[in-house]
A and B are shown apart, each in its own frame.
Chain A
Amino acid sequence: MTADTAKTAIAFFLAVIVQAAIVSSVAPGGGTADLVLVTLAAVALLRGAVFGSIAGFYAGFLLDTANLGTLGVSSLLLTLAGYWIGRYGETTGRDRAHAPLVSIAVVTVLYAFGAVALHAMLGEPVSVQAGLRALPAQILLNLLLTVPVYALMRRLFAPASRPLKEVEFS
């Protein structure tokens, strides 16, 4: 558990730095990939709802700090995203090969609408049109990122191999 926590802390720290400094500045097709969301989806699928929501809160806090945004906005959205993906993994998705792709596609859309709603509630003018126009490209880029990021996270968060128990049949 401690090792998982340390790995998560480092993974999201790096993800936020790379997202803020590099990924956000590249917008092929008008949309930008969301490395933090993709990393969160992978971690939540592998470790469950509680771990996912804690990781989401931490990642959101770092993201809002790096972007000097309103503290709490990304934390709230990513906490909910982490919880939802974690629950999906725990209940239906964990053993399915397409689970990471399905969850990232759905969460990208929900995250975008959640961000619009939250900014609107805070009285910050947001252009829904611009956001929606960028959404297809963002979904595609996130899906492309999902494959390598999920593979990397699977290696990082591989379940500890349990020693085989000897069972004696009488």
Chain B
Amino acid sequence: MLVVVSLAMLTVYFREADSGPMHGLQGNVASVLHPFQVGAERVARPFRDAYGWTAGLIHARSENEQLRKDMQIIRQQAIQNATAVQENEDLRKALKFVSGPSFPSDYDQVAASVSSHAPSEFEQSLVISAGGRDGVGFDDPVLSVDGYLVGQVTKVTEHSSEVTLLTDSTSSVTAVDVATNTVGVLEIGEGPDRPFELNRVPKEKVVREGDTIVTAGRRFGRLGSMFPRKIPIGSVKHVGQTDIENFQQVQVDPFVDFSSLDILIVLVPKARTPTP
């Protein structure tokens, strides 16, 4: 009997629209659960921070050395970038250049805590404590507090929203190599470590290890979602190619640690296009 009820519930939920009665029921019950989840999360946070701090000590020394090296390189790059930005602004003014929505100026940022993590390894999503009443909408991009791309909003209730992470097999984003301007589609790969792969990069295009990958802000054919431009995603870890493949194999190391997300930023467009 209960199996039949479960199957019926599943079927109705799966087939109905997001405004259907089952989705409404879920939203209402979720509103009841929400304060308890937030409370539990707040109680647990000091313990989780302590665990993270202790675990971080193991790699602290080697990480520190690496970060010092990185900082020297980044300092040099920052000086070059500042000059380039100024030059870019001058040229844009001179050309009266009109561009699409850009991050962060065309977006409001809604910070929200993670109230529920993915229930199993098979589902790469989490629930945040900001919903429709906070302005969050379907497909809004979601970043980490450091400003790196995490995923996008895939379900919205009044008080909470579901965020599907980039690590989900259904996620894909058009991304570009900042150094060489090579565009590809970033997706999660199928391997023992499940690396991120920048797919559909032709062999003649140049991608180097260590290059930074950011969102391209445009669609790649019919693939990928529309994220604003220039949101950092990760750096190129490995580049390879074989004779039988048409495209290069580019592995990307994400900047975000997807296993320790506590607070996320939702980018809410200042001028949201009404859904047809």
The interface of chain A, by Cβ under 8 A from chain B, is 13, 16-22, 24-27, 30-32, 34, 53-54, 56-57, 60-76, 79-80, 112, 115-116, 119, 122, 124-127, 129-131, 133-134, 138
Contacts and interface: CB of A to CB of B under 8 A. Distances in A.
A27 B38 CA distance: 20
Interface stretch (B1-9, B203-211, B218-226): B1-9
A152 B121 CA distance: 27
A142 B101 CA distance: 47
7 contacts: A34-B120, A53-B2, A57-B6, A68-B127, A125-B169, A133-B121, A133-B192
Contact of A68 (B5, B26, B38, B121): B26
B40 A76 contact: no
B162 interface: yes
Nearest to A65: B29
B122 A71 contact: no
Contacts of B107: none
Contact of B170 (A26, A68, A124, A133): A124
B170 A18 contact: no
A25 B145 CA distance: 17
B157 interface: yes
Interface in B1-24: 2-3, 5-11, 13-14, 22
B51 to A, nearest CB: 7
B120 A71 contact: no
Interface stretch (B89-97, B109-117, B233-241, B248-256): B109-117
Contact of A17 (B33, B117, B120, B161): B33
Contacts of A19: 119
B190 interface: yes
A57 B41 contact: no
Contact of B3 (A13, A76, A115, A122): A76
A24 B117 contact: yes
A20 B37 contact: yes
B54 to A, nearest CB: 12
A69 B162 CA distance: 9
Given A17-B37, A70-B13, A71-B9, A32 B120 contact: yes
B81 to A, nearest CB: 36
Contact of A26 (B9, B25, B48): B48
Contact size class for B?
35 or more
B169 A126 contact: yes
B170 A62 contact: no
Contacts of B25: 71
A122 B29 contact: no
Central interface residue in B2, B11, B160, B192, by most chain A CB within 10 Å: B2
B44 A22 contact: yes
Contact of B30 (A34, A68, A125, A133): A68
Contacts of B155: 68
Contacts of A76: 3, 6-7, 10
B44 A127 contact: no
Given A25-B48, A127-B190, A129-B190, A116 B26 contact: no
B235 to A, nearest CB: 23
A131 B192 CA distance: 11
A113 to B, nearest CB: 10
B36 interface: yes
Contacts of B123: 67, 69, 119, 126
